[in-house]
Amino acid sequence: MTILIRTSAESDLDAITAIYAHAVTHGTASFELDPPTRTEMANRRAAILEGGYPYLVAEKDGAILGYAYAGAYRTRPAYRSTVEDSIYVAPDAQGQGVGRLLLTALIGECEARDFRLIVAVIGDEDSHGSIALHRSLGFEPVGIFKGIGYKHGRWLSTVLMQLPLGRGIAEPPTRPLPTG
């Protein structure tokens, strides 16, 4: 069976929580130090969806292999057309193209929602796979924050990459200003 990329569902939260917990505990993609609970992950997912952002999963034979979402890059209104991507793949599904499928679909979802720029904030400049994946899909490096976080007994940097979406910055945004 092929890998299906679809909008996440509440029933995916156990798998999403487990995938993220592994990334927090063993990796540097997230700078969190303690894995959040399922309830916290449910709240985060709900906030993403309520904000009008995409939240996707990769599924094969009923198993969740990974997930990806886009959220606000920053909360100030001028940033309303810019999103930041997040992609997490289960340890046993890494290296099988799951991340590429998720990121490709996420880019498409963001373009369909008329976001104009997607930013990748990649934890650890030694994350060569993530950097290569983003580059292969057209992201360009724009900078590195050296030693911005401390985790697993070492200082970590973050790599910043960006990809224009759809009409990019050729014309003003059409996304309405947030209310409230």
pTM comes to: 0.95
Pairing of strands 55-60, 140-151: unpaired
Q: pLDDT tens string for the chain (180 positions)?
A: 699 999 999 999 999 999 999 999 999 999 999 999 999 999 999 999 999 999 999 999 999 999 999 999 999 999 999 999 999 999 999 999 999 999 999 999 999 999 999 999 999 999 999 999 999 999 999 999 999 999 999 999 999 999 999 989 888 888 888 765
4-164: CATH topology is Aminopeptidase (3.40.630)
Helical pair 98-112 and 128-136, crossing angle rounded to 10 deg: 50
In tens, the pLDDT along 52-78 reads 999 999 999 999 999 999 999 999 999
Residue from 39, 117, 107 nearest 72 by CA: 117
